[in-house]
Each structure stands twice: as C-alpha cells, then as structure tokens.
C-alpha cells in the first residue's frame, strides 16, 4: 500500500510536468501563429515596407549564397561517391545521375538548404530582434508610431519565405553539377548515360515536391525565428536562450514537416 503510494507520487509528478509542458508548448504555438498572422496581415497596411523587404532579402539571400554553394557542392560530390559505391554492386552505375538528382531535388536540397539558412540567417534574425527588445528599440519604434510587427517582423518573414526556395534551387543546381563532375570526371561513368537517366527519371512531380517543401520550410523558418526573437525574455540570457531554441525548434520543425510533406507528395 504505502509502497505504491510512494511510487505514484513521482509518476504523477512526471505526468503533471509533461502535461504542463505540453500545454505550454501548445500555448506558444497558438501565440506564434497569432503573432505571425498579425504581422502578415499588416502587408496590406500603409506604409509599404518594400525597401525593408528588399534589404532583408539581400542580407538573407546574398549573405547565405556562399555557404549554400559550398554545402550544395559537397553534398552532390559525396552523393556521387556513395551512390557509385552502392550502384556498382548491382552493375548499374549508369543510374548515378538519376540517383544524385532525385536525392537532392526531393530531399537533401530542401532539408540541408533549410538547415544552412537556419544556422546562418535564422539565428541572427532571432538575436537581432531579441536585442532590439532588450534595448527597448521596439518600444521606441512604437512610440515613434512605427509598428515593429510591420517594420521588423513582416519583411523578415516574407524575405525568408522567398529567399529559401531560391537558395534551395541554387543548392540543387550546384549539387547536381558537382555530382556530375565526381561521377563522370573522377569515376568515369558514361556522361551520356548519366544525363539521359537523370532526364528520364526526374519528373516534374519530383521538382514540384521539392519546391513545395522549400516554400513551406522558408515560411516556417521566418515565422519561428522572428517569433522567438520577439517573444524572448528581455535579458541577455533570454536572448541567448531564444537564439538556441529558435535554431533547435526550426531544425526539428523542418524535419517533422519534411516527413509530413514527403508522405503527401510521394
């Protein structure tokens, strides 16, 4: 009797904590959606934020270009190596082009591209907005009759939603190109077969799937990173924590969403 009572208490406590955590997360999700939706609804409000959107797009897009190119190239190269190793066992090296292109377009481009943007740009968005809150710059904007949701959040959300698909498209092209170099020049796969199989096996359906993923990921990254910054606790520690959390949540979110989307678009 007494033993089961003693066992129950920690168990109850555990489920209590779990439940509270779940409720808290749910509440945050609701809050994030509301804030994001509010910011997005301000797209129709005057004054237009075109200039700020372009500035953000430039910072995000051009700023992430090099890292996207490098990761794209090495992903394509390693895929070609690994693919060749596996395919050679079945004597079907000619399929290498199709293998590399499909993996990159359907899966690795969107996911790895998104990861790179999260690490390179997403974290800095969260930190920047968090610091603006700590130093009361968002309050100052409000008092100068400039809505920080419209001026700070909106351009960043839209810019990520547009920049990520474009960056991922570049990732795909560079990855496939680098795969070709390794496959054809280094491993001596027949160039005709490489390209022909790739063109034959990759369908528009695959490409649309990749695009859908990258648009959804871009949008998600923008929403999560701006939200975490805007709602971070206004202390040095709070901003640091929010930045780490933004990276973790966005990355995990991308993977979960990736599974959901793949199961729909398969």
Span near another protein by CB under 8 A; candidates 65-73, 94-102, 114-122, 138-146: 138-146
- Asked whether the beta carbons of 209 and 265 are under 8 A apart, the reply is yes
CA distance 266 to 149: 37
**Nearer CB in complex with another protein: 8/33:** 33
**Nearer CB in complex with another protein: 214/232:** 232
Span near another protein by CB under 8 A; candidates 142-150, 157-165, 198-206, 223-231: 142-150
**Nearer CB in complex with another protein: 37/252:** 37
Residue 229 CB, nearest approach to another protein (Å): 14
Residue 195 CB, nearest approach to another protein (Å): 48
CA distance 170 to 158: 19
Of positions 146, 248, 252, 260, contacts another protein by CB under 8 A: 146
**Nearer CB in complex with another protein: 82/135:** 135
* Burial of residue 142 (number of CB atoms within 10 Å: 0-12, 13-18, 19+): middle
**Nearer CB in complex with another protein: 121/168:** 121
Give the three-class secondary structure for 135.
Answer: coil
- Asked whether the beta carbons of 179 and 77 are under 8 A apart, the reply is yes
**Nearer CB in complex with another protein: 140/248:** 140
Of positions 13, 33, 135, 203, contacts another protein by CB under 8 A: 135
CB atoms within 10 A of CB 132: 20
- Asked whether the beta carbons of 115 and 252 are under 8 A apart, the reply is no
Of positions 147, 212, 245, 262, contacts another protein by CB under 8 A: 147
Is 235 a binding residue for another protein by CB under 8 A? The answer is no
Residue 45 CB, nearest approach to another protein (Å): 7
Residue 21 CB, nearest approach to another protein (Å): 20
Site track for another protein across 113-132, x = CB under 8 A: ------------------xx
Q: Residues 27 to 56: which contact another protein by CB under 8 A? A: 45, 47
User: Measuring CA to CA, which residue among 167, 158, 165 is closest to residue 222?
Assistant: 158
CA distance 68 to 15: 43
**Nearer CB in complex with another protein: 240/248:** 240
The count of residues interacting with another protein (CB under 8 A) is: 16
Instruction: Give, rounded to a whole angstrom, the gap between the first and last alpha carbons of the chain.
Output: 54
DSSP 183-248: IIIIT---HHHHHHHHHHH--HHHHHHHHHHHHHHHHHHHHHHHHHHHTS-SSHHHHHHHHHHHHH
Is 141 a binding residue for another protein by CB under 8 A? The answer is yes
Q: Which positions lie near another protein, rule CB under 8 A?
A: 45, 47, 131-132, 135-137, 139-147
């Amino acid at each position: 009797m007494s033993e089961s009572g003693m066992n129950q208490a920690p168990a109850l406590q555990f489920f209590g904590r779990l439940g509270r955590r779940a409720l808290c997360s749910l509440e945050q999700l609701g809050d994030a959606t509301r804030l994001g939706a509010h910011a997005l609804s301000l797209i129709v409000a005057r004054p237009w934020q075109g200039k700020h959107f372009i500035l953000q797009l430039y910072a995000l897009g051009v700023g992430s270009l090099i890292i996207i190119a490098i990761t794209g190239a090495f992903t394509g190269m390693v895929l070609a190596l690994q693919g060749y190793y596996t395919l050679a066992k079945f004597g079907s090296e000619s399929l290498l082009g199709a293998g590399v292109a499909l993996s990159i377009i359907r899966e690795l481009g969107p996911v790895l591209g998104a990861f790179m943007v999260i690490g390179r740009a997403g974290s800095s968005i969260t930190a920047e907005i968090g610091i603006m809150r700590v130093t009361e710059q968002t309050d100052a904007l409000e008092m100068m009759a400039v809505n920080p949701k419209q001026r700070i959040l909106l351009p960043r959300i839209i810019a990520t939603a547009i920049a990520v698909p474009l960056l991922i498209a570049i990732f795909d092209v560079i990855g496939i190109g680098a795969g070709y170099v390794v496959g054809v020049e280094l491993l001596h796969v027949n160039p005709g077969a490489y390209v022909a199989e790739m063109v034959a096996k990759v369908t528009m359906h695959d490409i649309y799937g990749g695009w859908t993923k990258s648009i959804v990921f871009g949008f998600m990254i923008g929403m999560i990173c701006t939200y975490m910054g805007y709602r971070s606790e206004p202390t040095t520690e709070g901003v640091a924590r929010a930045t780490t959390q933004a990276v973790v949540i966005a990355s995990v979110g991308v993977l979960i969403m990736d599974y959901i989307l793949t199961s729909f678009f398969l």
